[in-house]
Structure 1
Amino acid sequence: MSISFDIKKYSLLICCCFLLCLTSSAQAAKKDLSEAGFEIYVAALKVAALSKGYDNALVNNAFSKVKFHQRAVKADRSQPETVETLDTYLPKRVPDWKVNKARALYKEHLPLLTKIGKKYSVQPRFIVALWGLETNFGKIMGNYNVISALTTLAYEGRREVFFKKQLWAALTIIQQGHVSVENMKGSWAGAMGQNQFMPTSFVAFAVDGDGDGKKDIWGNLDDVFSSMANYLKKEGWSDELTWGRQVKLPADFDKSLAIPKNTGSRKNWLKAWEKTEKTLAQWQALGVRRADGTHLPKVDIKAALVFPDDENGRVYLAYNNYKSLMHWNLSYYFVSSVGHLSDRIKFPPIQ
Structure 2
Amino acid sequence: MKIKILAAFLFLCLPNSFVFSLEIPETIIKVAVLENVSNLNVESEKKFFIYDLIRGVKKNLEKQTFCQISANKKGLFVGSEEWSDLIRIVPEEDDFIIVNGKKYRDTIILKKTDQEKITVINELGLDHYLYGILPKEVSWDWPKESLKAQAVISRTFALKNLKRHESEGFHFCSKVHCQVYGGLNSEKETTNQAVDETDHEILTYRGELINSVFFANCGGQTEQVSNTWLTNIIYPYLKSVRCRFCGNEPNYFWKRLVTESEIVESLKKNRYEISLPLRSIRNAGYGRSGRAKFLKISHGAGILNIRASQFRMSLGPDRIRSTLFKEIKKVKKGFIFRGKGWGHGIGMCQDGAKGLARKGTSYKKILHFYYSGSKIEKLEY
TM-score in same-fold range (> 0.5): no
Normalised by the length of structure 1, the TM-score is 0.27
Higher share in helix: 1
Normalised by the length of structure 2, the TM-score is 0.26
Higher share in strand: 2
